Amino acid sequence: MSADSDFELYYKVMNNKALLTVLSACGLLFGLASCSNEPESKTTMSSRVSNYFVPDDLNGEISVQHNCTYAMMFDNIKGEMTMSATSVEVPGTNGISFTTSPMRFTPYTFENNQSIDFYNGEASEVEDINGYLTNMVFYLSPAYDPFTNITPNPMLVMSYKTDGYEVRTFSPNAYFSGETKTSYDMGAGEQTYTTKDAMYRVNFAQDMTTANVVIYNAKFVESMKAINVILRDLPVTLTRDGYRISVSDVVPELMDGSVATPYPSRTFTSLEIKSSSDLTKIDCDYVVADVFKGQFSGFSCDRFVPIYN
């Protein structure tokens, strides 16, 4: 296997056909999938995500709704799209539904991924809709995943305002990829080890009070074989700026075939996870067995950021 770039080597893109169809219709397909010769004039797509409700009231509570479906319709000729949703369970309402007026979208192709940016969307019920649609990026899944497998939906990252809340969409089962740097001192002075192979999964419970965190391909030193680490039922704090996980002395589990087995010798002395406000990025700091200090920062998806000269 050869890599044209680090990106290709370490990341696999879950290609979504509808997304690619839109891009191919716009003539911007980057050769990752076949496309029809005739662009389709309209393309529909849907994304099922969770909603993170942040109240305008600074003292208000954060709440979450799962399994909310947003439907998008792209007019590829006009370069416009509409966003629809039904039963968005905004607290204090019986649920709202909306369909935006057409809004401009801009497709981007970059590295080995694609995204569609949309902005300034509005409807009578909602306003200030901004976001992007992209493919999730994550490292190749290992053979034994302790939880449900990832569903290949496109990642909808969006925020809008309605009825006293800011609504942010997110995935309750996101995989984060990036760089993990570990430092340790085993008697020969402080040494460091860096890897991009490790991937972090945050899998929320339905009520969002706890989450299971899985670190795939965890490796703290060069000579160590990569392992998959499960940290189960970690308490979660939801804040205006994203969610937080802060625990100490957690015994991880490693998979023995289909059996998750506790590994006290690899106790996480401390673990802190902090997400970004748009919930697409996490920063993770941990100490394992009082020896290995790990730092991770990674994204669940990539967004193209245009540079304007």
- Which uninterrupted H or E stretch holds 270? strand 268-275
Q: Which two tokens stand for residue 193?
A: 């080890």
CA end-to-end span of the chain: 37
Task: Find tokens 């309402």 and name the residue.
Answer: 93
Q: Does 143 bind another protein (CB under 8 A)?
A: yes
* 248 SS3 class: strand
Contact (CB, 8 A) for 199 and 228: no
Q: Does 193 bind another protein (CB under 8 A)?
A: no
Give the integer Cα–Cα distance in Å for 139 and 157.
20
Q: Does 9 bind another protein (CB under 8 A)?
A: no
Q: Does 261 bind another protein (CB under 8 A)?
A: yes
The count of chain residues that interact with another protein, using the rule CB under 8 A, is: 20
- Which one of 107-115, 126-134, 174-182, 262-270 is the stretch in contact with another protein (CB under 8 A)? 262-270
| Residue of 71, 73, 221, 226 interacting with another protein (CB under 8 A) | 226
Q: Which two tokens stand for residue 231?
A: 């940290």
Q: Does 217 bind another protein (CB under 8 A)?
A: yes
| Nearest CB to another protein, comparing residues 143 and 188 | 143
Contact (CB, 8 A) for 285 and 295: yes
The single-letter DSSP state of residue 41 is S
Task: Find tokens 């300034």 and name the residue.
Answer: 120
- Which one of 111-119, 130-138, 168-176, 224-232 is the stretch in contact with another protein (CB under 8 A)? 224-232
Residue 49: what are its φ and ψ, rounded to 5°?
-135, 180
The single-letter DSSP state of residue 140 is P
Fill in the per-residue mask, 88 to 127: x = in contact with another protein (CB under 8 A), - = not in contact.
----------------------------------------
Give the integer Cα–Cα distance in Å for 182 and 180.
6
Q: Which two tokens stand for residue 18?
A: 């509808």
Q: Does 144 bind another protein (CB under 8 A)?
A: yes
Q: Does 20 bind another protein (CB under 8 A)?
A: no
Q: Does 142 bind another protein (CB under 8 A)?
A: yes
- Which one of 110-118, 169-177, 252-260, 290-298 is the stretch in contact with another protein (CB under 8 A)? 252-260
| Nearest CB to another protein, comparing residues 226 and 250 | 226
Q: Does 215 bind another protein (CB under 8 A)?
A: no
Count Cβ atoms below 10 Å from residue 185 Cβ, excluding itself: 11
Q: Does 264 bind another protein (CB under 8 A)?
A: yes
| Nearest CB to another protein, comparing residues 73 and 260 | 260
Q: Does 3 bind another protein (CB under 8 A)?
A: no
Count Cβ atoms below 10 Å from residue 244 Cβ, excluding itself: 14
Minimum CB separation of residue 255 from another protein in Å reads 5
Minimum CB separation of residue 225 from another protein in Å reads 5
| Residue of 158, 213, 227, 284 interacting with another protein (CB under 8 A) | 227
Task: Find tokens 């849907």 and name the residue.
Answer: 46
- Which one of 82-90, 121-129, 235-243, 257-265 is the stretch in contact with another protein (CB under 8 A)? 257-265
Q: Outline where the chain has alpha helix (H).
A: 6-10, 17-25
Per CB under 8 A, residues contacting another protein are 1, 142-144, 217, 225-228, 254-259, 261-265
